């Protein structure tokens, strides 16, 4: 039986051209070799598995190569390169800083540095995990590191740069290695799979790359583990099962249920996830990432930040364009608060369940439950994502109404003013515990492909008066009483008034009320537009301090005087216990 070599060692780069994701560093090192500007000490720092030790070995190999190529790569034919490839080079010395961290170890190293190389021009000393050296060892190493012999070059590698003494850092050229991107890891894994004649899905490779968290060595180790489990035919489902990773479809389904307000389905799918052994906080973290990915998919410029396979990318694009931005922002805020409170919560599962219920409640206060264009499910997306047409929703009259209302609702810019909705949303639909979203009063059937003119949209606007604005204002205060009690109290204590220029003036008593309004301004506008039509709803604030201060007591003397007048026995009580104002 042949000895098995793990992929991380078998496919370890032996030239700068094969190093993945560190082009700026490799190019700088090659330029320093070409220009003969070699420093006497280097510090390679960065996360695990990104190529620090690999680059140190390649650098040591090239500077001792007797016939390096024009691209500044080793020839692999000279005596020095041959000895290096057989791990028998006497010019390269690797030390482990964790096990050689005492002053005596550093003294032995200093004695060894004095000996010139037998083959080649330089003796290279690579010290891994250099941050593990003791304080005394660092101090003993300072002089030699600053002024070593001409033939000695030190390359220090560490994952914890902050633990290195400033006196060490000042004597080295520091190179910060980056995390390797998901796309680069996927390309490297595809190369390894082709070399090993292994068939594997691109989506499966993306899962492995994301699980590796920017470390190519970890990705190759996971790849070997998956191949041992699945053989030469690796599928996406096998990778999910072996790595115990939540499938993307879970989060697409959860988002559908959240938009529809189906609380019972949400609780059941959460129970299924927990029964599969996933931690509730891991689920919340995945939900936060899913909502974030939906947000960045709404802008073409940021779609490149989505690090998933092509099939999953299509699903993200489809669902993001059918979900409102306001819903995503509010959902992200609630889920993030749950992630922050999770460790301190005694009922962790209950906290996650309440979070899902709150997010589902957002849909009840937004037009069409936060769905911007259509109400399709993830199952429809999986079956035929690219062939979805408007005729697919013409089966029933209710589907026509839902799609017509959703297509009219836009939150982007004034020139895309949506068609107003004259019907009033029932007050009960604004409570978080309602599990369904209401469809407004049906309108006359008409072709979905014909756009309404701007004149008709303007004619359908509900006239904005102080009377209907005040009525809607009080309704919002009642709707927010349970979920947003502070905002509800602020709304009850203020009265909006329409100014001649069309802006809404609000008289406030203090800065706290103003900050509360500004914090919830998007929510207030969304509610008012759903009730009164797509007006601009620009607000101004007027600070007026209360004039009735006769019952306000500021000093201790005033407070004691008030208590003495109100309670006959207060003076007796105060004198008996020797209580007085200084």
Strand (E) or helix (H) holding 157: strand 152-158
Contact 74, 81 (CB under 8 A): yes
- For residue 153, the 8-state DSSP code is E
pLDDT of residue 45: 93
One domain, residues 18 and 148: yes
The pLDDT tens digits of the residues spanning 85-99 come to: 887 788 888 888 888
Separation of alpha carbons 449 and 101, rounded Å: 75
Residue 1 in domain: no
End residue of a domain, out of 176, 201, 226: 176
One domain, residues 255 and 231: no
At residue 302, does pLDDT exceed 80? yes
What 3 state SS string does 424-480 have? Answer: CCCHHHHCCCCCCCCCCCCCCCCCCCCCCCHHHHHHCCCCCCHHHHHHHHHHHHHHC
For range 229-245, the mean pLDDT: 84
One domain, residues 368 and 448: yes
Of 377, 270, 370, nearest to 329 by C-alpha is 370
In the chain, what percentage of residues exceed pLDDT 70? 80
At residue 500, does pLDDT exceed 50? yes
At residue 534, does pLDDT exceed 80? no
Residue 330 in domain: yes
Q: How many other CB atoms are there within 10 angstroms of residue 3's CB atom?
A: 4
pLDDT of residue 356: 92
For range 3-17, the mean pLDDT: 87
In the chain, what percentage of residues exceed pLDDT 90? 19
pLDDT of residue 538: 82
pLDDT of residue 546: 63
The sign one gets for the Cα dihedral 318, 321, 326, 329 is positive
- For residue 534, the 8-state DSSP code is S
What 3 state SS string does 86-101 have? Answer: CCCCCCEEEEECCCCC
Contact 164, 41 (CB under 8 A): no
Separation of alpha carbons 199 and 208, rounded Å: 14
DSSP 86-147: TT--SSEEEEETTTS-SHHHHHHHHHHHTSPPSSSS-EEEEEETGGGS-HHHHHHHHHHHHS
Q: Between 256 and 429, whose confidence is greater?
A: 256
- Number of helices (H), then strands (E), in the chain: 26, 10
**123's tokens:** 């003796």
Most confident of 256-265, 454-463, 474-483, 526-535: 256-265
Of 383, 379, 381, 399, nearest to 391 by C-alpha is 399
One domain, residues 89 and 197: no
At residue 429, does pLDDT exceed 90? no
Residue 518 in domain: yes
CATH number for the domain harbouring residue 127: 3.40.50.300
- For residue 482, the 8-state DSSP code is T
In this prediction, residue 402 has a pLDDT band, given cuts at 50, 70 and 90, of very low
Q: Between 513 and 162, whose confidence is greater?
A: 162
- For residue 74, the 8-state DSSP code is -
> Mean pLDDT lowest for which of 33-42, 93-102, 243-252, 440-449?
440-449
pLDDT of residue 453: 45
pLDDT of residue 554: 56
SS3 288: helix
Q: Are strands 123-128 and 152-158 parallel, antiparallel or unpaired?
A: parallel
Q: Between 180 and 409, whose confidence is greater?
A: 180
**304's tokens:** 């490149």
For range 106-130, the mean pLDDT: 88
> Mean pLDDT lowest for which of 19-33, 132-146, 231-245?
231-245
CATH number for the domain harbouring residue 478: 3.30.300
Q: Between 101 and 189, whose confidence is greater?
A: 189
In this prediction, residue 405 has a pLDDT band, given cuts at 50, 70 and 90, of very low
Name the one residue in this structure whose structure tokens are 């509010």: 330
At residue 135, does pLDDT exceed 70? yes
For range 183-210, the mean pLDDT: 89
Separation of alpha carbons 488 and 537, rounded Å: 19
pLDDT of residue 473: 82
One domain, residues 301 and 317: yes
End residue of a domain, out of 425, 444, 459: 459
pLDDT of residue 320: 87
Separation of alpha carbons 197 and 184, rounded Å: 20
At residue 157, does pLDDT exceed 90? yes
One domain, residues 60 and 162: yes
End residue of a domain, out of 134, 159, 176: 176
One domain, residues 209 and 120: no
pLDDT of residue 438: 41
One domain, residues 33 and 170: yes
Strand (E) or helix (H) holding 43: strand 41-45
Of 244, 250, 241, 234, nearest to 199 by C-alpha is 234
One domain, residues 509 and 565: no
pLDDT of residue 393: 42
Strand (E) or helix (H) holding 540: strand 539-543
Name the one residue in this structure whose structure tokens are 């072996």: 242
Separation of alpha carbons 347 and 351, rounded Å: 6
The pLDDT tens digits of the residues spanning 311-327 come to: 888 888 888 888 888 88
pLDDT of residue 553: 59
> Mean pLDDT lowest for which of 350-354, 398-402, 462-466?
398-402
pLDDT of residue 570: 79
pTM of the model: 0.57
One domain, residues 296 and 221: no
Task: Label residue 524 exposed, middle or buried (CB < 10 Å: 0-12, 13-18, 19+).
Answer: buried
For range 126-135, the mean pLDDT: 91
For range 545-556, the mean pLDDT: 60
One domain, residues 282 and 327: yes
Task: Give the residue numbers spanning the domain of 515.
Answer: 466-543
Separation of alpha carbons 52 and 159, rounded Å: 9
**510's tokens:** 């203090």
Residues for the chain: how many in total? 582
Of 233, 254, 230, 252, nearest to 241 by C-alpha is 230
Calculate ∠ Cα 89-94-96, nearest 5°.
Answer: 160
> Mean pLDDT lowest for which of 156-160, 296-300, 352-356, 362-366?
362-366
From residue 242, alpha-carbon distances to 50, 83, 103, 213, 414 in Å are 24, 40, 46, 17, 50
Residue 2 in domain: no
pLDDT of residue 462: 59
CATH number for the domain harbouring residue 428: 1.20.272.10
- Phi and psi dihedrals of 356, rounded to 5? -65, -40
Q: How many other CB atoms are there within 10 angstroms of residue 531's CB atom?
A: 21
- For residue 158, the 8-state DSSP code is E
Domain total in the chain: 5
For range 109-117, the mean pLDDT: 88
pLDDT of residue 417: 40
> Mean pLDDT lowest for which of 4-18, 148-162, 348-362, 400-414?
400-414
One domain, residues 330 and 384: yes
Residue 380 in domain: yes
Name the one residue in this structure whose structure tokens are 């995945």: 286
Residue 387 in domain: yes
pLDDT of residue 507: 83
In this prediction, residue 461 has a pLDDT band, given cuts at 50, 70 and 90, of low
For range 514-531, the mean pLDDT: 80
Of 501, 497, 494, 422, nearest to 456 by C-alpha is 422
pLDDT of residue 364: 56
- Phi and psi dihedrals of 169, rounded to 5? -60, -40
Name the one residue in this structure whose structure tokens are 């995390």: 179
In this prediction, residue 76 has a pLDDT band, given cuts at 50, 70 and 90, of confident
Q: Are strands 504-508 and 496-498 parallel, antiparallel or unpaired?
A: antiparallel
Contact 232, 199 (CB under 8 A): yes
pLDDT of residue 398: 41
At residue 55, does pLDDT exceed 90? yes
Separation of alpha carbons 164 and 174, rounded Å: 11
CATH number for the domain harbouring residue 231: 1.10.8.60
């Amino acid at each position: 039986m042949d000895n098995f070599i793990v992929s991380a060692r078998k496919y370890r780069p032996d030239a700068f051209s094969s190093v993945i994701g560190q082009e700026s560093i490799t190019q700088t090192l090659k330029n320093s070799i070409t220009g003969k500007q070699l420093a006497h000490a280097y510090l390679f720092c960065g996360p695990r598995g990104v190529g620090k030790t690999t680059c140190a070995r390649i650098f040591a190999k090239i500077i001792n190569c007797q016939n390096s190529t024009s691209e500044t790569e080793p020839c692999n034919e000279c005596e020095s390169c041959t000895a290096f490839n057989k791990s028998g080079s006497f010019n390269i010395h690797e030390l482990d800083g964790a096990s050689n961290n005492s002053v005596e170890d550093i003294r032995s190293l200093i004695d060894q540095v004095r000996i010139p190389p037998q083959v080649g021009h330089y003796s290279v000393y690579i010290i891994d995990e250099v941050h593990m050296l003791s304080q005394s060892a660092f101090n003993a190493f300072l002089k030699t590191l600053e002024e070593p012999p001409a033939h000695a070059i030190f390359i220090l590698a560490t994952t914890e740069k902050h633990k290195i003494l400033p006196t060490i850092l000042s004597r080295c050229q520091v190179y910060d290695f980056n995390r390797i991107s998901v796309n680069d890891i996927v390309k490297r894994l595809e190369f390894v799979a082709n070399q090993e004649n292994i068939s594997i899905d691109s989506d499966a490779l993306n899962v492995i790359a994301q699980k590796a968290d920017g470390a190519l060595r970890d990705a190759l180790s996971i790849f070997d583990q998956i191949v041992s489990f699945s053989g030469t035919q690796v599928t996406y489902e096998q990778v999910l099962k072996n790595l115990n990773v939540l499938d993307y479809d879970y989060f697409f389904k959860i988002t559908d249920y959240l938009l529809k307000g189906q609380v019972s389905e949400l609780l059941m799918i959460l129970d299924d996830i927990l029964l599969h052994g996933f931690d509730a906080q891991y689920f919340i973290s995945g939900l936060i990432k899913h909502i974030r990915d939906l947000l960045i998919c709404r802008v073409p410029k940021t779609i490149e930040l989505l690090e998933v396979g092509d099939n999953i990318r299509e699903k993200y694009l489809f669902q993001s364009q059918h979900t409102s931005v306001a819903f995503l922002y509010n959902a992200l805020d609630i889920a993030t608060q749950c992630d922050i409170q999770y460790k301190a919560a005694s009922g962790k599962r209950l906290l996650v369940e309440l979070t899902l219920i709150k997010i589902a409640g957002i849909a009840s206060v937004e037009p069409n439950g936060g769905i911007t264009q259509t109400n399709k499910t993830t199952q429809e997306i999986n079956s035929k994502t690219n062939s979805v047409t408007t005729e697919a929703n013409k089966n029933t009259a209710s589907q026509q109404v839902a799609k017509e209302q959703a297509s009219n609702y836009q939150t982007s810019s004034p020139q895309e003013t949506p068609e107003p909705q004259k019907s009033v949303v029932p007050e009960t639909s604004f409570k978080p515990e309602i599990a369904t979203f209401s469809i407004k009063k049906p309108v006359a059937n008409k072709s979905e492909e014909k756009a309404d003119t701007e004149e008709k949209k303007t004619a359908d606007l509900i006239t904005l008066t102080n009377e209907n604005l005040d009525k809607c204002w009080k309704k919002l205060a009642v709707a927010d009483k349970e979920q947003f009690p502070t905002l509800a109290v602020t709304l009850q204590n203020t009265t909006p008034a329409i100014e001649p220029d069309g802006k809404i003036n609000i008289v406030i008593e203090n800065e706290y009320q103003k900050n509360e309004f500004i914090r919830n301004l998007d929510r207030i506008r969304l509610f008012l537009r759903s009730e009164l039509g797509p007006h601009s709803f620009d607000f101004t604030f007027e600070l007026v301090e209360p004039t009735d201060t006769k019952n306000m007591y500021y000093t201790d003397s005033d407070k004691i005087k008030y208590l003495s007048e109100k309670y006959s026995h207060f003076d007796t009580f105060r004198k008996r216990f020797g209580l007085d104002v200084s």
